[in-house]
Copies of this chain bind each other. A is one copy, B any other.
Amino acid sequence: MTISVAVSGASGYAGGEVLRLLAGHPNVEIGAITAHSNAGSRLGELQPHLHALADRVLVDTTVENLTGHDVVFLALPHGASAEIAAQLPDDTLVIDAGADHRLTDPAAWEKFYGSPHAGSWPYGLPELPGHRELLRGAKRIAVPGCYPTSSLLALTPGFAAGLLEPDDVVIVAASGTSGAGKAAKPHLLGSEVMGGMSPYGVGGGHRHTPEIEQGLSAAAGEQVSISFTPTLAPMARGILTTATAKVRPGVDAAALRNAWERAYGEESFVRVLPEGQWPATKMVVGSNYAALQLAFDPHAGRVIVSAVIDNLTKGTAGGAIQSMNIALGLPEGAGLTQQGVAP
């Protein structure tokens, strides 16, 4: 079975990663590759690491150019993807790597994005309870944000099992700079970021906050509120998420470990590491894997969970292709790898 796929936003980091993975997907034929200001350029100028596609020429991101494929990936600024998606055929599988269709609550969307809500689509994180089923045969899929992917994988098992208190969740995450995109800004220059770390969006303002709370609340069956602080780390790829929540009275280390291991025991892309081994982002660079470890701190009455993903792979393009595979009935791991590129 060969499916034709179009990729928009191909000059950015998310679009580039989608193309990198699709180039190795056994069932995919890459059709239109589109961009906005870079239309007309050779892909080799913009994504020089994609040697097999170097001579492909980018075309404009238009409904015309995207129509006629089995699958369309949208790697566009929020707002743009909703507008284009609305004009694509209903029987085309549209996978939105942007934010437009992630939030179910219009009020939350409007508060954090300041624009009308485009509605919500099936959420492409198959390892969450019940989500894989929703993706089978889906024609519209919202790809989770990178921080929500790691945060939800980190804490969902505990909330789903009723082991955690819904308030006082604290999440501090460190992301590689590719998460900030390819637009040239002074504070993202190599000279500025190499050898240093800094926080941003502190105090609840980050747009991923409502997305994380939405997922945790769904698992908990009650409203979960979090304090989320993202930081920028001197690396191109990877997210290390440190998530901690208070455990309910009587919950012990064994119960916690059991809940996490049960949740992911059957998964091929999420693993709780053996006791004593802690995750490192380099375990998952370029791979679709998420590695977790947890510890119970009785002194603080908290569970601390560390989770690592590659923000561009499992956190964006890899997760998107995993969801595509499920939607189309392909092997879930087609075109994806479990192995990280290390050292």
Contacts and interface: CB of A to CB of B under 8 A. Distances in A.
Interface of A: 13, 16, 20, 23-24, 42, 44-45, 47-52, 54, 168, 170, 172, 174, 176-178, 180, 182, 184-186, 188-200, 202-204, 209, 225-227, 229, 231, 233-238, 240, 242, 244, 246, 271, 273-274, 277-287, 289, 291, 293, 295-300, 302, 304, 306, 308, 337-343
A283 B49 contact: yes
A51 B287 contact: yes
Contact of A49 (B168, B242, B341): B341
A191 B198 CA distance: 15
A300 B225 contact: yes
Nearest to A299: B204
Nearest to A194: B236
A236 B236 CA distance: 13
Q: Which 10 A-B pairs have the closest CB atoms?
A: A203-B295, A49-B340, A196-B282, A190-B193, A198-B280, A49-B342, A227-B300, A184-B184, A172-B172, A191-B343
A262 to B, nearest CB: 19
A197 B304 contact: no
A24 B26 CA distance: 13
Contacts of A198: 240, 278-282, 308
A202 B285 contact: no
Contacts of A24: 337, 339
B281 A242 contact: no
A190 B236 contact: yes
Nearest to A230: B242
Given A50-B339, A197-B240, 17 more contacts: A23-B339, A51-B283, A51-B338, A52-B338, A170-B172, A172-B172, A182-B186, A184-B185, A184-B186, A194-B236, A198-B279, A199-B306, A200-B278, A227-B297, A227-B304, A236-B342, A237-B343
Contact of A197 (B49, B170, B238, B286): B238
A191 B177 contact: yes
B274 A44 contact: yes
A308 to B, nearest CB: 8
9 contacts: A47-B342, A50-B340, A184-B185, A184-B186, A197-B235, A197-B280, A200-B278, A209-B299, A229-B306
A177 B199 contact: no
Contacts of A302: 170, 227
